[in-house]
A and B are shown apart, each in its own frame.
Chain A
Amino acid sequence: MSVRELFERHHLRLYRYFVRLSGAPSVAEDLTQEVFLRALRAAADYRAQGQEVAWLFRIARNLWLDRQRQRHRRPQAVDSTPDDLPVPASQELGLHLDQALGGLPEDEREAFLLRETGGLSYARIAAVCDASVESVRSRIYRARRALRAALAEPETTHLKLLVEKP
């Protein structure tokens, strides 16, 4: 499968993954682009057919971790600059969800997003994160428990509102 075909199939998932991680569409665009450009450069050496999604998300994860390390060295870089880009379908719920995600430990947030946004199986998440399947299962469960608690607080109750709306 060519990188172009991979792009058509998976760019949306990768973009959404980066948007959730960074909270900034412009950052998500930059990182999504970099994933596919790196994939293009490495495509000739890639041999593990059938594992392309995990491969792309592994590149994505490494990019994100590199970026986080650079940001720690240069704290003036800020993601929260306002973007003139598309807003969430449900802006308020999206904001609370992003805040709740931001409060999770890195490993739980990562596993949760790879599952929900990336659509990866536990085995593939384990391969991407260098973890065991059991560990991935626990991380996703803990993330869900924390998110449910955060979104079900009396002042928000977004989960109920979402389902009860007409």
Chain B
Amino acid sequence: MENDAQEVLSAFADGEPVATPRLLDALTRPGAHETLVELIRLRSAVEETERDPRPEFVRRLRARLDPARRPWWRRGVLVPAPALAAALACVLAAALLLESLAPGLRAPQATDVPPAPDRVLYFEEGVDWTQLSNSSRRF
């Protein structure tokens, strides 16, 4: 039996779509039945020799993947956008309320007016400084 016909039967055994004329051609060739039987035997051999994981491994991993048993910061819970917006609005309202109740808590604002002096220093000519005639200054 030719490889192409066998490949068609292989796909057919897997339930894959196969063009009807090609399938008809493959199925009516000598050896088609034996090929299909061999394919099913091979599948049976795979199934017969499958191995399963240890129950304790499955239990442990199942527990690891259980959202209720993981810390909240690792659960990856998505917060809905309206809830997030409401929470931000509450924080903003609380801040405004605090500001109105205790304005002194607010940080000082920037202004163009200089602050009033709390002391004044005077420097006397001839005592604290001297004007030189040759334009160079000496203190």
Residues of chain A touching chain B, judged by Cβ–Cβ distance below 8 Å, are 2-4, 7-8, 11-12, 15-16, 19, 25, 28-29, 32-33, 36-37, 40-41, 43-44, 85-90, 93-94, 97, 115-117, 121-122, 137-138, 140-141, 144-145, 147-148, 151-152, 158-160, 162-163
Contact = CB atoms under 8 A, between A and B. Distances in A.
B7 interface: yes
B14 interface: yes
Given A29-B54, A145-B6, A151-B42, A140 B14 contact: yes
B27 interface: no
Interface string B48-69: 1111111001100110111100
Most buried by A among B3, B10, B43, B66: B10
Contact of B11 (A11, A41, A122): A122
Contact of A90 (B39, B49, B52, B53): B49
Given A7-B61, A32-B61, A97-B46, 20 more contacts: A16-B52, A29-B53, A29-B54, A86-B54, A89-B48, A97-B49, A116-B46, A122-B11, A137-B7, A137-B11, A140-B11, A140-B14, A141-B7, A141-B11, A144-B39, A152-B38, A159-B38, A162-B44, A162-B48, A163-B41
A116 B43 contact: yes
A38 to B, nearest CB: 12
A138 B54 contact: no
A11 B61 contact: yes
B45 interface: yes
A15 B52 contact: yes
Nearest to A165: B48
B65 A3 contact: yes
B62 A4 contact: yes
Please report whether the interface of chain B is mostly helix, strand, loop or mixed according to DSSP. helix
A140 B51 contact: no
A94 B50 CA distance: 8
Interface residues of B, number: 32
B128 to A, nearest CB: 73
Contacts, number: 111
Interface of B: 3, 6-7, 10-11, 14, 16, 38-39, 41-46, 48-54, 57-58, 61-62, 64-67, 76, 78
B78 A44 contact: yes
26 contacts: A3-B65, A4-B62, A8-B62, A15-B52, A25-B53, A33-B57, A33-B64, A36-B65, A86-B54, A88-B49, A89-B48, A90-B48, A97-B49, A116-B46, A117-B46, A121-B16, A122-B16, A138-B7, A141-B3, A141-B11, A144-B42, A152-B38, A159-B38, A159-B42, A162-B44, A163-B44
